Amino acid sequence: MPVELYNTLTKRREEFKPMAPGKVGIYSCGPTVYSHPHIGNFRSFLVADLLKRFFEFKGLKVTHIMNITDVGHLVDDADEGADKLEETARKEKKDPLEIARFYTESFMTASKLLNIKPADVYPKATEHIQEMIDMVKTLVDKGYAYVVGGNIYYDVTKFANYGRLSGNTLDDLNAGARIELNPEKKNPQDFALWKHDPKHLQQWDSPWGRGFPGWHIECSAMSSKYLGAQFDIHTGGEDNIFPHHECEIAQAEGASGKKFVHYWLHTRFLLFDGEKMSKSKGNLYTIQELIEKGFKKNAIRYALISSHYRQNYNFTFDGLKAAAQAIDKIQQCVFQLKDISKNKESGQVRKELQELSSNCLAQFDEALSDDLNISKALAVCFDFLREVNKVDDANSTEANALLDTIGKIDSVLGVLEKADEEVPAQIIEMAEKRKEAKANKDWKTADAMRDEITAKGWILEDTPGGGYRIKRGGQD
Ligand code: AMP
Ligand code: ZN
């Protein structure tokens, strides 16, 4: 089934056609590591994760790159203001790289908690200075950029398509310019590729003297390095459209002379009380904070992926509670099927159950192929569970087949708890001993086994079919 995606570049939905059959290259703008990432950032990162998992569900091989911005991202997203990393470094009296290391770790931990599949590479800006210098050199040589003292600017009037992604024209931008005229710039919208600033804490040698790169050049240089001068999909939050992605296109296409990215996907903001959640507003929650408040990591993931990426998502605690209940419904169905799988005989899979599964998977595919229509996909999933709950007298083969379907759906959603199979053999042994003790009405041994399992950090629950399930205790 063809996948349709809304392309910000063309402002319409388009059938997704990968450059190389069966393969997809995705580049996502990652975090600027100057503070803990918040759930708004993660909404954008999770859209990339959902997209990637969906392509993998469809059998495509995905190469995913997500950058780590550790230099050059200035407070106002354009050319003015302090470097975000440097501002935190000065405040905390630390080296910028120490700040970067600390918050990169925080980002990685939260990504893992949210069950985000790791990118193939997380390139750091500070480790790709040479690639950036090379691209800037090409842009100067080709006449797209000019040197003023130790600063290099991109001349936006040289790139005919400047404004195409964001829908801006240079006339409109100049008319509404809040940019104070920098006397070094030929045009108000020209942006810095390389900056000379003796006070900046991070400096590198370059053909134009010591300095540091602008924010936009890192994503053009690093995406080209890992995915080639042309690739399939670029993602980010809606605030990345302008100026960041507009400038990325101007740089990359100016340097290579080729079309840079085929499909641009942008996630609308996560809001809190109707306002964009952002570090500058301070109205934010981090993943760790929500977990400390007692919310489960998979409920946070579910809540953040459960609304369409091209609509704002207004974050509420009720939304998180509803997400936890939804996961519980899936989980209960899984436990019942596992019970059947363990305790019933094997047999033939009835035709109607085969059809139930294949229809569910086809509809799930169809829903997500419709520009990642997650609401439709979740509705398909819950309709399926409702039918599964009605199935009478399933045998273990049927239970396994239905579990396999749920597993395929969860390979995209990524919200189910770890499988029982990951429980250590020693714990399973104790659970089996308890089951046997219960059957022999040896309540003392049964209780002792349960206590021992609990003491080892696992929770044992009896299930209606006479079996049990084991899960990790506490916030796993
Ligand atoms: P930053 O760490 O500021 O560079 O942002 C990392 C990513 O998070 C970028 O792709 C932003 O567009 C995205 N982002 C920031 N705030 C929000 C928000 N409230 N909702 C959705 N995405 C966001
Ligand atoms: Zn970027």
Amino acid at 360: C
Residue 445 sits in the same domain as residue 407: no
pLDDT interval class at 419 (50, 70, 90)? low
Residue 246 sits in the same domain as residue 182: yes
pLDDT interval class at 464 (50, 70, 90)? low
Burial class (CB in 10 A: 0-12, 13-18, 19+), 285: buried
CA nearest ligand 1 atom 12, residue: 237
58: Cβ contacts below 8 Å, ≥ 6 apart: 3, 365
pLDDT interval class at 461 (50, 70, 90)? confident
State how far the Cα of 375 lies from the Cα of 377, in Å rounded to an integer: 5
The alpha carbons of the chain give a radius of gyration, in whole angstroms, of 26
Percent of the chain past pLDDT 70, that is, above it, reads 97
Single out the residue in 413, 440, 462 at which a domain terminates. Answer: 413
- pLDDT of residue 291 exceeding 70, the answer is yes
296: Cβ contacts below 8 Å, ≥ 6 apart: 324, 327, 475
In a domain, 420, yes or no: no
CB 100 within 8 A of CB 246: no
Angle between helices 317-343 and 374-390 (to 10 degrees): 40
- pLDDT of residue 476 exceeding 70, the answer is no
Q: Which ligand is nearest to the CA of 216?
A: 2
Between the CA of 247 and the centroid of ligand 2 the distance, in Å, is 10
CA nearest ligand 1 atom 18, residue: 40
DSSP state for residue 419 in the 8-state scheme: P
Residue 253 sits in the same domain as residue 307: no
Residue 375 sits in the same domain as residue 455: no
- Which pLDDT value is given to residue 468? 83
* Domain hosting residue 458, numbered range: 425-472
Residue 147 sits in the same domain as residue 9: yes
Single out the residue in 382, 413, 444 at which a domain terminates. Answer: 413
Between the CA of 167 and the centroid of ligand 2 the distance, in Å, is 19
Residue 209 sits in the same domain as residue 97: yes
Single out the residue in 233, 267, 301 at which a domain terminates. Answer: 267
State how far the Cα of 102 lies from the Cα of 80, in Å rounded to an integer: 25
CA-nearest of 191, 261, 263 to 224 is 261
Residue 161 sits in the same domain as residue 213: yes
User: The domain spanning residue 56 has which CATH number?
Assistant: 3.40.50.620
Residue 49 sits in the same domain as residue 96: yes
Q: Which ligand is nearest to the CA of 244?
A: 2
pLDDT interval class at 397 (50, 70, 90)? very high
In a domain, 277, yes or no: no
In a domain, 24, yes or no: yes
Q: Which residues, judged by CB distance below 6 Å to any ligand atom, belong to the binding site of ligand 1?
A: 29, 31-32, 40-41, 43-44, 69, 236-237, 239-240, 267, 269-270, 276-278
Q: Buried (b) or exposed (e) across 230-255, using 16+ Cβ within 10 A?
A: bbbbbbbbbbbbbbbbbbbbbbbbbb
Domains: count for the chain: 3
Residue 149 sits in the same domain as residue 28: yes
In a domain, 302, yes or no: yes
Residue 340 to residues 66, 90, 337, 431: CA-CA distances in angstroms?
42, 60, 5, 17
- Which pLDDT value is given to residue 465? 67
Residue 75 sits in the same domain as residue 112: yes
Burial class (CB in 10 A: 0-12, 13-18, 19+), 101: middle
How long is the chain?
476
pLDDT interval class at 475 (50, 70, 90)? very low
- pLDDT of residue 433 exceeding 50, the answer is yes
In a domain, 281, yes or no: no
Q: Provide the β-strand partners of residue 471.
A: 459
State how far the Cα of 439 lies from the Cα of 219, in Å rounded to an integer: 63
State how far the Cα of 230 lies from the Cα of 58, in Å rounded to an integer: 23
**Closest approach atom of ligand 1 to CA 313:** 20
256-257-262 Cα angle (round to 5): 85
In a domain, 272, yes or no: no
Q: Which ligand is nearest to the CA of 39?
A: 1
Pocket test for ligand 1, best of 47, 103, 239 (most atoms within 8 A of CB): 239
- Which pLDDT value is given to residue 178? 61
* Residue 143 CB coordination number (10 Å): 10
pLDDT tens for 350-375 read 999 999 999 999 999 999 999 999 99
pLDDT tens for 24-64 read 999 999 999 999 999 999 999 999 999 999 999 999 999 99
- Which pLDDT value is given to residue 421? 53
- Which pLDDT value is given to residue 4? 98
- pLDDT of residue 184 exceeding 70, the answer is yes
**Closest approach atom of ligand 1 to CA 240:** 12
Percent of the chain past pLDDT 90, that is, above it, reads 83
Lowest mean pLDDT: which of 20-24, 43-47, 88-92, 235-239? 88-92
CA-nearest of 309, 297, 388, 407 to 349 is 388
In a domain, 468, yes or no: yes
State how far the Cα of 270 lies from the Cα of 278, in Å rounded to an integer: 9
In a domain, 49, yes or no: yes
User: The domain spanning residue 304 has which CATH number?
Assistant: 1.10.730.10
State how far the Cα of 458 lies from the Cα of 424, in Å rounded to an integer: 10
Residue 162 sits in the same domain as residue 210: yes
Residue 177 sits in the same domain as residue 315: no
Q: Give residues whose Cβ lies within 5 Å of ion ligand 2.
A: 29, 219
DSSP state for residue 228 in the 8-state scheme: -
Q: Which residue has the higher pLDDT, 103 or 424?
A: 103
Q: Which ligand is nearest to the CA of 47?
A: 1
